[in-house]
């Protein structure tokens, strides 16, 4: 097993820097076809089925997110406290929302207060990047492929996931991982309940996997092929990732931390002095992990300031969050709620098939094995993250897993405290807020698995999970 001191050296020598990137990632035509099937066909087909089978708006803020897209398409950024656009109200009323409550009247003649979440645009606190990217893609779906506006906006989620999984495949190959170890974790990501659900609705959680995979790809690319463009590239990467959703900063922290630990190991192994050279380590880390953190911080601070200036109402008085103001909130409650962050792939699990009031349909729920596979996936990724505690000497996958779980939990506490402080509401932290870290845990899983028996077991489990997902998406 490789020691921490030799980690950095192995990362910089595997698959020499002169090897073409495409050839490294896709060494043969069959491997390229397999990558397309696993990274593109599987997720897009699952998401397309879910979109087709669930025409109503999701109760997880989708209607308000769609209104955000409409406002950006009209040339403006929504402001907290604005009423929903009449065009959005019409679509919401006629399409319906899969939630408990009185039926909505089409074409939008009902009182706005009866709409789930209230009549206000309460998602205006989110950065506009995802919504701005959705506008041209929705235009293509409507005018080229003949979709309606909601379906066209939803199907963009498949593109985000496919791109994310391809980036993850390329990252794994650049790390020297064989194809047999890369495929199962990617299939588990593609078929995870939270991934399929959040990528099948209009939601800025749809590009979360892309955010994590992009940061991982940029990190390993900068490490293996450093140059004068390293700092600006990773700085822009940190800005871009955080501009989708501030929660996506979690993956930046993890990757920057791993780069720091691996860089420290390299400096310590090369130094002949008793005391390691902090200056050398800092100068090496700044263009990589430092650039990521700086870009992330700049984007987060800039958006928080801009959002406060744009808001028309005090968030603590927003009626849309009244249902979450159920009682006193303390650190104990926030710490308990944050445990759900440790399950990013199914922590916000929702049934794929629902009846007219948004609950599991008939006897289908009693026959659904999906909660079982989702729980097994949760335990698998938790075990991978905790491996670094019990296995020594530690390698980069162990640090990656450990930091991922630590950042997820601490990040959940910070997020919960922020929600409480900003909206005077219960934290309501869910696994989907940490979805951007899932690709990093998948990389750790692919790297830690050693024996052929474990690899075969992962293949069987991942293929079974994908098959069950297809079945339950299509089950009547």
Q: What is the mean pLDDT of residues 113-123?
A: 72
Supply the pLDDT for residue 65.
93
Give the residue-averaged pLDDT of 163-183. Answer: 95
Q: Number of structural domains, the chain?
A: 2
pLDDT digits (tens, 9 = 90+) for 2-20: 444 444 434 444 444 445 8
| Selected residue with higher pLDDT from 4 and 385 | 385
pLDDT at 14: 40
Tens-place pLDDT, residues 179-210: 999 999 999 999 998 999 999 999 999 999 99
Q: 245 and 168, same structural domain?
A: yes
Helix 278-285, helix 249-270: angle, nearest 10: 140
**Between residues 208 and 313, which one has the greater pLDDT?**
208
Of 106, 127, 154, which residue is a domain's last? 154
The verdict on 255 and 337 lying in the same domain is: yes
pLDDT in the model for residue 270: 74
Tell whether 211 and 359 lie within a shared domain. Answer: yes
Q: 63-116 pLDDT, tens per residue?
A: 899 999 999 999 999 998 888 888 888 888 888 888 766 566 676 555 555 666
Question: Cα separation of 194 and 352, whole Å?
Answer: 10
Q: Is 112 a domain residue?
A: yes
2 domain-assigned:
no
Q: What is the mean pLDDT of residues 19-29?
A: 87
Mean pLDDT along residues 155-182:
95
pLDDT at 321 over 80: no
**Stretch 153-169: mean pLDDT, rounded?**
96
What tokens were used for 163? Answer: 């791109």
Distances (CA, A) of 47 to 53, 117, 192, 205, 420: 10, 25, 11, 14, 33
What is the rounded CA–CA span in Å between residue 138 and residue 56? Answer: 18
Is 416:341 a contact under the CB 8 Å cutoff? no
141 and 13 in one domain? no
Q: Is residue 452, in this structure, part of any structural domain at all? A: yes
Per-residue pLDDT band at 226 (split at 50, 70, 90):
confident
Pair (138, 160) in one structural domain: no
Task: Give yes or no: residues 293 and 194 share one domain.
Answer: yes
Are residues 227 and 349 both part of a single domain?
yes
162 belongs to a structural domain: yes
SS (H, E, C) 63-87: HHHHHHHHHHHCCCCCCCCCECCHH
CB distance 447 to 216 below 8 Å: no
Q: Does residue 255 fall inside a structural domain?
A: yes
- Last residue of some domain: 100, 119, 154? 154
pLDDT in tens, 410-465: 999 998 888 887 777 777 788 899 999 999 999 999 999 888 999 999 999 999 99
Q: Rounded to two decimals, what is the model's pTM? A: 0.89
122 domain residue, yes or no: yes
> What span, in angstroms and rounded, lies between the C-alpha atoms of 364 and 430?
25
Is a pLDDT exceeding 90 seen at residue 292?
A: yes
Confirm whether 311 is domain-assigned.
Answer: yes
Q: DSSP secondary structure string, 347-384?
A: TT---S-B-TTSSB-GGGGGG--HHHHHHHHHHHHHHH
How many Å separate Cα 427 from the centre of its chain? 19
Contact 192, 377 (CB under 8 A): yes
What tokens does 173 get? 């190959």
CB 259 within 8 A of CB 223: yes
Same-domain status, 146 and 182: no
pLDDT for the residue numbered 407: 95
CA 25 to CA 84: how far, in whole Å?
46
What was the pLDDT predicted at 16?
A: 41
Same domain, 204 and 93: no
Asked if residue 470 and residue 426 are part of one domain, the reply reads: yes
Q: Which structural domain, as residue segments, surrounds residue 125? A: 55-154
What is the distance between the alpha carbons of residues 408 and 415, in angstroms, rounded to a whole number?
10
Does one domain contain both 148 and 259?
no
Are 282 and 384 in a shared domain? yes
Q: Which of 423, 414, 419, 426 is nearest to 328 (CA)?
A: 426
Q: Which of 26-30, 87-91, 350-354 has the lowest mean pLDDT?
A: 350-354
Written as one string, the DSSP assignment of 77-129 is ---TTPBPPHHHHHHHHHH-BSSSSSPPPTTTTS-GGGSTT-SB-GGGGS-SH
CA atoms within 13 A on the CB side of 270: 13
pLDDT at 362: 40
The answer to whether residue 1 is domain-embedded is: no
Q: Which residues of 87-107 are buried (b: 16+ CB within 10 A; e: fewer)?
A: ebbebbbebbbbbeeeebeee
- Kindly report, residue by residue over 43-52, the tens digit of the pLDDT: 999 999 999 9
Boundary (domain end) residue, out of 121, 154, 187:
154
What per-residue confidence (pLDDT) applies to 111? 58
């Amino acid at each position: 097993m490789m020691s921490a001191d030799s980690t950095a050296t192995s990362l910089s020598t595997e698959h020499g820097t002169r090897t073409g990137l495409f050839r490294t990632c896709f060494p043969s035509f069959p491997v390229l076809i397999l990558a397309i099937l696993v990274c593109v066909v599987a997720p897009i087909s699952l998401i397309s089925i879910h979109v087709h089978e669930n025409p109503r708006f999701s109760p997880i803020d989708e209607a308000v997110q769609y209104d955000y897209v409409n406002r950006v398409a009209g040339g403006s950024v929504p402001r907290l406290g604005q009423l929903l656009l009449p065009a959005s109200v019409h679509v919401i009323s006629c399409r319906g929302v899969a939630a408990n409550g009185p039926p909505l009247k089409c074409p939008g003649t009902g009182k706005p207060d009866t709409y789930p979440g209230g009549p206000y645009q309460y998602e205006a606190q989110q950065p506009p990047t995802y919504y701005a990217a959705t506008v041209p893609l929705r235009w293509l779906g409507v005018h080229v492929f003949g979709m309606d506006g909601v379906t066209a906006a939803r199907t963009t989620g498949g593109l985000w996931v496919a791109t994310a999984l391809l980036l993850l495949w390329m990252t794994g190959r650049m790390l020297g991982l064989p194809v047999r170890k890369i495929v199962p974790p990617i299939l588990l990501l593609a078929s995870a309940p939270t991934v399929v659900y959040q990528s099948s609705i209009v939601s800025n959680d749809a590009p979360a996997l892309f955010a994590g995979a992009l940061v991982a790809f940029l990190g390993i690319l900068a490490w293996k092929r450093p140059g004068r463009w390293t700092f600006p590239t990773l700085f822009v990467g940190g800005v871009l990732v955080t501009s989708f959703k501030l929660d996506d900063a979690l993956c930046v922290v993890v990757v920057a931390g791993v780069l720091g630990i691996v860089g420290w190991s390299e400096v310590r192994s090369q130094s002949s002095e008793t005391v390691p050279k902090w200056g050398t380590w800092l100068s090496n880390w700044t263009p990589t992990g430092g650039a990521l953190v700086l870009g992330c911080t700049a984007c987060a601070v800039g958006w928080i300031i801009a959002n406060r200036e744009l808001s028309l109402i005090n968030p603590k008085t927003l009626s849309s969050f009244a249902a979450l103001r159920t009682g006193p909130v303390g650190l104990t409650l926030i710490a308990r709620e944050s445990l759900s962050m440790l399950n990013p792939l199914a922590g916000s699990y929702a049934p794929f098939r629902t009846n007219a009031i948004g609950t599991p349909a008939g006897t289908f729920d009693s026959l659904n094995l999906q909660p079982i596979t989702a729980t097994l996936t949760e335990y698998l990724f938790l075990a991978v993250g905790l491996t670094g505690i019990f296995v020594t000497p530690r390698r980069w996958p162990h640090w990656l897993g450990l930091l991922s779980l630590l950042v997820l939990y601490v990040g959940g506490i910070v997020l919960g405290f922020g929600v409480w402080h900003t909206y005077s509401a219960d934290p309501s932290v869910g696994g989907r807020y940490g979805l951007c870290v899932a690709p990093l845990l998948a990389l750790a899983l692919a790297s830690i698995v050693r024996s052929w028996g474990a690899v075969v077991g992962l293949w069987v489990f991942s293929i079974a999970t994908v098959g069950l997902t297809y079945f339950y998406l299509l089950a009547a």
